[in-house]
Amino acid sequence: MNFVSNTAQQGGPADTGSIPGQPRAGGGQAGETLTRVGRAFLRQRESTVFVVAVGLFIYFALNSSSFVTSTNLPILFTQDSAPYIIIALGEVFLLICGEIDLSVGFTYALAPYLMYYLITYDHVPGLLAILIALLMGVVIGWINGFLTVTVGLPSFITTLGTGFVILGIVQTTSHGEPVTVPTDVAGAQHWLGGNWAPFIWAVVLTILMHIVLTRTRWGLHTVSVGGNQLGAREAGINVNRIKYGNFMLTGLLGALVGIQNAFVTSSIDPTAGGYLPMFYAVTAAVIGGTAMLGGTGTVVGAFLGAIVIGMLTDCFIILGVSANPLPIIFGGAVLVAMIANVQLARLRARGAQ
């Protein structure tokens, strides 16, 4: 089943006896099943971040009476987690195929403005304006793909450049002024910015993208391109198409998050988005087990990683602790996760000999 996870933590002596379907002597039936489930769990790349997420949740729930409340939970999941989850879905696909998008946070900023301009100045119907704004995200993704794949720039540079350009467009067209969401699209408020709506979007999209990554040709070819680009090309995989597609996916998701954020906060702000949500999304992906070496990555891990980030952000505020040291924790988590990734890869390589 799950080809990405299967590559993750095998290779240790622990899984030599766990070839599926192979009967083992001794031990009670129930105990054996439990052991097998336990091993299967530990073999998942996501298990570490899952344990961390659950542990943090329990810790904060026990230490703060205002954590598990009907006011705080929507903030935690909808405002502090959902945007990073959704952006991370795109970044995971890009990281797996060996690329990155630094510009997505600026697409995030531009999309709601485009929606606003279309409605206010061009009298475009609200729903159509939202669709065009989403499409703009796809177009920005295509431009990133063109510059990276066709022109041949490293995606780090491509998206560094396009990010600045988009930021400039946002600042110039908005004159740096925030605006309010037009009343024409008030009907979409409930669906895009409701109390739990962005998080429900995040969950549904996570499930969808997990299936795409693990059960479809697109996912398989994304892994192939990142794992062995020449080999993928030799096997006839259209490497360029995969990369273009994943840039366009990321642009689309960035635009979606930007529009959602406008509805959540009821305002459109030129300083929304930017580098922070992008870096949080990449952080979520790395904490979740996506090595930036290409060829491996997990959608579910990124989802959990983003929730860990959300919980930490949220709880420093609730617990009344200064948020100033928060980046130290994020930075530490990224480094620990990456060291674990590299060490695991080394162990796997040794196991292969």
Partner 1 sequence: MTAAPELDSNILRAEHISKSYGAVTALTDINLRLAKGEVLGLIGDNGAGKSTLLKILCGFQPPSSGAIMLEGQEVRFKSVDHARSLGIDAVYQDLALINQLSVFHNMFLNREQVRWPLLKNRAMRREARQHLNDMGVHLPSVEVPVAKLSGGQRQAIAVARSVYSDAKILLLDEPLAAMGVKEAAIILDLVRDLKQQGEVSIIIIAHNYGQVLEVCDRVNLLQGGRITYDRPSSQTSVAELTELVVAEYREALEERQRLGR
The binder of partner 1 chosen from 228, 240, 265, 267 (CB under 8 A): 228
Least spacing, CB of residue 140 vs partner 1, in Å: 26
> Per CB under 8 A, which of residues 128..157 are in contact with partner 1?
none
**Tally of CB atoms within 10 A around 268:** 26
Q: Is 115 exposed, middle or buried (0-12, 13-18, 19+ CB in 10 A)?
A: buried
Q: Which stretch binds partner 1 (CB under 8 A): 4-12, 29-37, 100-108, 281-289?
A: 4-12
Using rule CB under 8 A, residue 122 touches partner 1: no
Least spacing, CB of residue 288 vs partner 1, in Å: 17
CA terminus-to-terminus distance, the chain? 24
Using rule CB under 8 A, residue 187 touches partner 1: no
Using rule CB under 8 A, residue 164 touches partner 1: no
> Per CB under 8 A, which of residues 295..334 are in contact with partner 1?
295-296
Using rule CB under 8 A, residue 350 touches partner 1: no
The binder of partner 1 chosen from 25, 30, 151, 230 (CB under 8 A): 230
Backbone conformation region of residue 222, classed left if phi is above 0, alpha if psi is from -120 to 50, else beta: alpha
Q: Which is nearer to partner 1, 151 or 352 (CB)?
A: 352
CA distance 104 to 109: 9
Q: Is 297 exposed, middle or buried (0-12, 13-18, 19+ CB in 10 A)?
A: buried
Using rule CB under 8 A, residue 18 touches partner 1: no
The binder of partner 1 chosen from 58, 204, 235, 323 (CB under 8 A): 235
Residue 195 phi/psi, 5° resolution?
-50, -50
Segment holding 179, helix H or strand E? strand 179-180
Q: Is 285 exposed, middle or buried (0-12, 13-18, 19+ CB in 10 A)?
A: buried
Using rule CB under 8 A, residue 19 touches partner 1: yes
Q: Is 26 exposed, middle or buried (0-12, 13-18, 19+ CB in 10 A)?
A: exposed
Q: Is 114 exposed, middle or buried (0-12, 13-18, 19+ CB in 10 A)?
A: buried
Segment holding 267, helix H or strand E? strand 267-268
Percent helix, strand, coil in the chain, to 5, is 75, 0, 25
Using rule CB under 8 A, residue 224 touches partner 1: yes
Q: Is the Cβ–Cβ distance between 199 and 73 less than 8 Å?
A: no
Q: Which is nearer to partner 1, 98 or 270 (CB)?
A: 98
Cα 330 to the chain's mean position, in Å?
16
Least spacing, CB of residue 322 vs partner 1, in Å: 42
Q: Which stretch binds partner 1 (CB under 8 A): 46-54, 135-143, 208-216, 332-340?
A: 208-216
Using rule CB under 8 A, residue 221 touches partner 1: yes
Q: Which stretch binds partner 1 (CB under 8 A): 130-138, 190-198, 217-225, 334-342?
A: 217-225
Least spacing, CB of residue 344 vs partner 1, in Å: 13
Give me 242's structure tokens: 């995969």
The binder of partner 1 chosen from 223, 257, 300, 309 (CB under 8 A): 223
Least spacing, CB of residue 236 vs partner 1, in Å: 4
Using rule CB under 8 A, residue 240 touches partner 1: no
CA distance 133 to 112: 7
Location of structure tokens 């431009």: 143
Residues contacting partner 1: total by CB under 8 A: 35
Least spacing, CB of residue 289 vs partner 1, in Å: 13
The binder of partner 1 chosen from 31, 231, 331, 332 (CB under 8 A): 231
Using rule CB under 8 A, residue 207 touches partner 1: no
Applying CB under 8 A, the residues found at the interface with partner 1 are: 1, 3-4, 6-7, 10-11, 19-20, 211, 215-217, 220-221, 223-224, 226-228, 230-238, 295-296, 348-349, 351-352
